[in-house]
Chain A
């Protein structure tokens, strides 16, 4: 087993990894940028090394600086966490070449999965379903028409060089195809200087469901079931659940087997996640991509399966076989996680950096908070605004929601804006409670939230309570105001302090005594 693990990360995930190190009697080594010198992950580590200025390109992304710190600390392994260098094949290779164990898959597996087209090809070779479509650019309208007929409408036209929704057109029927193709091509040409467009079948009302897999160096592969990640904002996951509210054991088995096939195809080692799109209409699933690292949302899988994924990662990296087999994996209850970001939900989710002046973290039955901050800490503009992940476990989804609602109401963060108020509304939303989930959930929810509908009708009693609360808010503000005025007034009057007066009297008395002698 390792003696020292260097954690090439910061924030909540660095804290999470430090905790696993402590469990395993391994000494955790932190790295930090100049602006993180007093951060929680630094305070919790046994030793810490500065790797550069605040900007991550000059610190947490600097391979040489991190390797240098690892050598100085004589660390025998490096855990990359997620983000930063976690899926960087060159970093994994440099770590290996320095004679240090990289806690993660091989750089070769990372590089295959890092490219969308290579990953898609690997999935096809492994016999996993992929979204049907043309892999090459369309050469003519006739070719587009034939492909669309073959896959079935609706279809999506996508710019080969695309991104950000440019050069994308959804086509519902053949009569719309010609003009949509021309529009997509000209848009692609002006946006990317490349008019190549390909065609894919549209997955209607898709859910985002991913499978957690694990593999060791002895050829054992297991899956730990799915996570439902359909609640996304701008392709960023916001709420994750385990299991999916679909809770279909046959679907879980089929998706798990597909995920393991893909992992085997690249001789995967360690923790990995295979993401799928699932159609609510046809109930088919399609390979999307594979993340070759620990996921942000791993706690929901831990809560439901009882395994410690970081501990398992470390064991596997040390050459041990997996501590469990596929038959040992059981799913007990339901877990839901909210990503608490330093963002203002009432102002287009703008980042809200600043000092955390007040912090009250919820706890109690079924609650887990994975945080990277403490009161007084500064949320820096330089890094991801994730400050904590709040997860709730219950025997049923309904019980998990009850606990999550309670914990969200207990959670208080002062000094900065957070996404907590947004989550408090989601856990009270009927569509969420009824698990009507697909990737369009957030945009529908935002509309309901802005219109003020969807919020359950309030009883007269509750309305009275709200009106009182509003008056109390005004009173609290007025008290703060009078308090402020009286301190301002005292300051204006100058030295009024009784201590000062007493001090002056004592000094006078002393001088009188001296003069008297």
Chain B
């Protein structure tokens, strides 16, 4: 999900993808791969692959255009997120419901598995491609049901964040 964030007077481009406990994020080009554990209510524990822990708490309405209070340990940050999709309409989430959905590499890595063939039919939520980065394997799922019309990924290939790996129609 691509968002715009304002924090401490800075405008940042944010991209966050979550696959189960694995969170991949790009903040103004800085890439993070994190493990999100013990999410309960407003708090979540984020862990980097290097083992750094961040005890986070989010207070307030996490809605587009609203400012939330984020605590990372004792530090407080006011963060405002804007979702460009929210500016248009609801229902666009999870890809284009009646159009095509692109499967994008969330971060640089290596393709370790391709679970579909070109022309195959996939269900929404089915695993399509597995990309390995920072010693963690991340399964990228189909955002919608449809036919795999394009497949740009082969096992062992190195991909960049933002690359289109597959298109489902």
- Roughly how many angstroms separate A357 CA and B71 CA in the complex, as a whole number? 14
Of B56-64, B99-107, B112-120, B141-149, the stretch lying at the interface with chain A is B56-64
Assess the B12–A474 pair: CB atoms within 8 A.
yes
Distance from A307 Cβ to chain B, minimum over Cβ atoms (Å): 33
Q: Is B74 an interface residue (CB 8 A)?
A: yes
Chain A, interface SS category: helix
Assess the B57–A412 pair: CB atoms within 8 A.
yes
A479 contacts across to B, CB distance below 8 A? 16, 18, 23, 36, 39, 44, 58
A interface footprint on B49-90 (CB within 8 Å = 1, 0 otherwise): 000101011110111100010111111110101010000001
Assess the A415–B62 pair: CB atoms within 8 A.
no
Chain B, interface SS category: strand
User: Nearest CB to that of A471 among chain B residues?
Assistant: B27
Q: Is A498 an interface residue (CB 8 A)?
A: no
Assess the B81–A481 pair: CB atoms within 8 A.
yes
A411 contacts across to B, CB distance below 8 A? 74
Given the known inter-chain contacts A409-B73, A477-B62, A482-B16, please indicate yes or no for A469 contacting B54, CB distance below 8 A.
Answer: yes
Q: Is A476 an interface residue (CB 8 A)?
A: yes
Distance from A429 Cβ to chain B, minimum over Cβ atoms (Å): 16
Q: Is B43 an interface residue (CB 8 A)?
A: yes
Q: Is A473 an interface residue (CB 8 A)?
A: yes
B interface footprint on A458-486 (CB within 8 Å = 1, 0 otherwise): 00000000001111111111111111110
Given the known inter-chain contacts A412-B71, A475-B32, please indicate yes or no for A481 contacting B77, CB distance below 8 A.
Answer: no
Distance from B145 Cβ to chain A, minimum over Cβ atoms (Å): 15
Distance from B125 Cβ to chain A, minimum over Cβ atoms (Å): 12
> Which one of B27, B43, B64 has the greatest number of beta carbons of chain A within 10 Å?
B27
Report the interface size for chain B: residues with CB under 8 A from the other chain.
Answer: 47
Which of A409, A412, A472, A478 is the one whose CB lies under 8 Å from B54? A472
- Roughly how many angstroms separate A469 CA and B1 CA in the complex, as a whole number? 21
A424 contacts across to B, CB distance below 8 A? 74
Q: Is A358 an interface residue (CB 8 A)?
A: yes
Which of B30, B32, B62 is the one whose CB lies under 8 Å from A483? B62
- Roughly how many angstroms separate A468 CA and B70 CA in the complex, as a whole number? 14
User: Nearest CB to that of A489 among chain B residues?
Assistant: B93
Q: Is A421 an interface residue (CB 8 A)?
A: yes
Distance from B28 Cβ to chain A, minimum over Cβ atoms (Å): 8
Which of A412, A420, A474, A485 is the one whose CB lies under 8 Å from B27? A474
Assess the B71–A477 pair: CB atoms within 8 A.
no
B52 contacts across to A, CB distance below 8 A? 468
Further 17 A-B residue pairs, CB within 8 A, beyond A415-B59, A481-B1, A482-B1: A358-B43, A409-B74, A421-B74, A470-B77, A471-B12, A471-B27, A473-B79, A474-B25, A474-B70, A475-B32, A475-B46, A476-B54, A476-B57, A478-B25, A479-B16, A479-B39, A489-B93
Q: Interface residues, chain B, CB within 8 Å of chain A?
A: 1, 3, 5, 7-8, 12, 14, 16, 18, 23, 25, 27, 30, 32, 34, 36, 39, 41-44, 46, 52, 54, 56-59, 61-64, 68, 70-77, 79, 81, 83, 90, 93-94
